[in-house]
Chain A
Amino acid sequence: MITPHLPILQIILPLMAAPVAIILRRPGATWALATVITWIAFAIALMLMMEVLASGPLTYRIGGWAAPWGIEYRIDKVGALVLVIVSAIGSVVMPYARKSVAREIATDRIYLFYAMYLLCLTGLLGIAITGDVFNLFVFLEISSLSSYVLIALGRDRRALTAAYRYLIMGTIGATFYIIGVGLMYMATGTLNMADLASLIPSVIDQRTILAALAFLIVGISLKLALFPLHLWLPNAYAYAPSVVTAFLAATATKVAVYILIRIIFTIFGVEQILAIMPSVQNALMSLALAGIFAASAVAIYQTNIKRLLAYSSVAQIGYIMLGISMLSTLGLAGGIIHLFNHALTKSALFLALGCVAYRMGGTDISHMRGLGRRMPWTMAAFVVGGLSLIGVPTTVGFVSKWYLVAAAFDKGLWPIAGLIVISSLMAMVYVWRVIEAAYFQPAPEDAPEITEAPLSMLVPLWLITAATVYFGIDATRTLNIALSASEILLGGGQP
């Protein structure tokens, strides 16, 4: 049967489809191929998730070579959750992509867009599925290189420089990661995550391991845009094509957070880290808080709404990191649940902006004036996403902020709970600016006659918007996964 091979199919299908897309060349055909493949990938991810929930972690030996000599794919609850997030966003965005991409990318380059999109999906899924630290580096570079190309496809010439800066920063981050992997290999002689987890305690007092940990954390922090290493992110998100922004904002940084979770909790384990580098907890926590406030403050003054949401992403990564840096079950669960929730929220918001860009040709605050009446469905989705960003009850944003605040109280860090609430007010300010322009300002006299965005773009947008409300009201399923995953991660790291 095909079921035992699902883990490899998850990766190999999009990987093989990318060159096929280049051979097909016709925009319509490549779009159809990419749509079919991404939906199959989503189905596989759901099957893997059910399998993991029913019978525990799955392993798959590549080429039949047993770990730790061969490369092993290993899927536990966190990995399965990330697989579902990435493939869900990746597939739901596809019906939307057809019209949006046709409008924003030159016709003779569309097939390249879909090829790169599939490669990027391969890399992101691969990171979540692999149990080998070097294999993870390869997938990291597959996803990074393709996302540089995707960003550079933006119409604005600033997209090129944004992609260039991301390339430089991203490569430095990935190279730091590989230095860390090399140092770990020197000390332990293995690259398998489970094997590393069992061998590292015996060499934990070596300086090699200390240096490895430092390189790994700094390198991945660059990738996940932890403040102050986020400088590549705002322009990259602001000038990339709408579909790319929605996809990358929901997946790329989240997957990098997943790598950090793997390094801290699975490979090293909280106890070892606190033993050799106790300052890492305070460092991550204060950077997360600084990121939340600095990025929210900058977001308030942005006039380009895409850039505004990009800064808000940096702040949201701060929340995720804040949860993780508490190193407690509740905190980690809050971080994981916010990872899921923010992926939904931000992709909905960026998709709504994509609809605005489709009709108005831009996403400046001046374009938003009077849109509430002229594009009611798009702006209603934006409002729901905005409320979730603030953390209003019945949206997913509330669930994750609730858990982060609860985790802060649980650890006796009540000032941090207060800071989370205050920072939500800042989110209110920047979301309100858009709502005010859309609903309370009249459309400019010379505004073009526009109608609502096409249905093929509205349906995906509202699918994700409905999900942000659904998982905000009935959060038990996602919460259970996040809580049990964080218990496993904290309980010795063996998933």
Chain B
Amino acid sequence: MEIFTGLFNYWVVIVLMMMGFYVVIAQHNLVKKIIGLNIFQVSVFLFYISMGKIKGGTAPIIGEGIEIYSNPLPHVLILTAIVVGVATTALGLALTVRINDAFGTIEEDEIEVLEAADDEQATP
């Protein structure tokens, strides 16, 4: 039982990570893929944030009565990673909009058919 309750946060991280990863691979809709990518990245955020937390720990402030505090570094790191994640999502969605303009669809299998037609055209 200890392996489930003691490592609860890591179980959540792994489950979320695999869910996101599966969505990225299995979904054919370009927007859903990006949602999957987001879930995948959020699991890593949770991983970092929970890693720095100590039971009963407070914010890392030097003051009276504060003895146990959480490690602030992973939290700061993940702020950067969140910004990167937002930028990636924005760029991915912008590309999806452009793809929709160019192909008229955001379903990967339909795009593949259109791309194969482009390839045919290029090599008569």
**A residues in contact (CB < 8 Å) with B:** 134, 137-138, 141, 145, 148-149, 152, 156-158, 160-161, 163-164, 167-168, 171-172, 175, 178-179, 182, 185-186, 303-304, 362, 364, 366
What chain A residues lie within 8 Å of B37 (beta carbons)?
168, 171-172
- The total of interchain contacts (Cβ-Cβ below 8 angstroms) comes to 77
Judging by beta carbons under 8 Å apart, are B91 and A179 in contact? no
Judging by beta carbons under 8 Å apart, are A303 and B44 in contact? no
> Closest CB of chain A to B115's CB: distance in Å?
6
Judging by beta carbons under 8 Å apart, are B44 and A178 in contact? yes
Judging by beta carbons under 8 Å apart, are B24 and A175 in contact? no
Select which of B21, B81, B96 is within 8 A of A164 by beta carbon. B96
Judging by beta carbons under 8 Å apart, are A160 and B115 in contact? no
Select which of B51, B88, B122 is within 8 A of A145 by beta carbon. B88
Q: Is the interface of B mostly helix, strand, loop or mixed?
A: helix
Provide the bound-state CA to CA distance between A156 and B24, in Å: 25
Provide the bound-state CA to CA distance between A116 and B88, in Å: 15
Select which of B48, B77, B98, B122 is within 8 A of A160 by beta carbon. B98
What chain B residues lie within 8 Å of A138 (beta carbons)?
80, 84
**B residues in contact (CB < 8 Å) with A:** 21, 24, 30, 33, 37, 40-41, 44, 47-48, 51, 73-74, 77, 80-81, 84, 87-88, 91-92, 95-96, 98-99, 102-103, 111, 115, 118, 122-123
Judging by beta carbons under 8 Å apart, are A164 and B92 in contact? yes
Judging by beta carbons under 8 Å apart, are A163 and B95 in contact? yes
Chain B residue nearest to A141 in the complex (CB): B84
Judging by beta carbons under 8 Å apart, are A364 and B99 in contact? no
29 contacts between A and B (CB under 8 A): A134-B77, A134-B80, A138-B80, A141-B84, A141-B88, A145-B91, A149-B91, A152-B98, A157-B99, A157-B103, A158-B118, A160-B99, A161-B103, A161-B115, A164-B92, A164-B96, A167-B92, A172-B21, A172-B24, A175-B40, A175-B41, A175-B44, A182-B48, A182-B51, A182-B74, A185-B73, A303-B122, A364-B122, A366-B123
Judging by beta carbons under 8 Å apart, are A148 and B95 in contact? yes
Provide the bound-state CA to CA distance between A156 and B114, in Å: 13
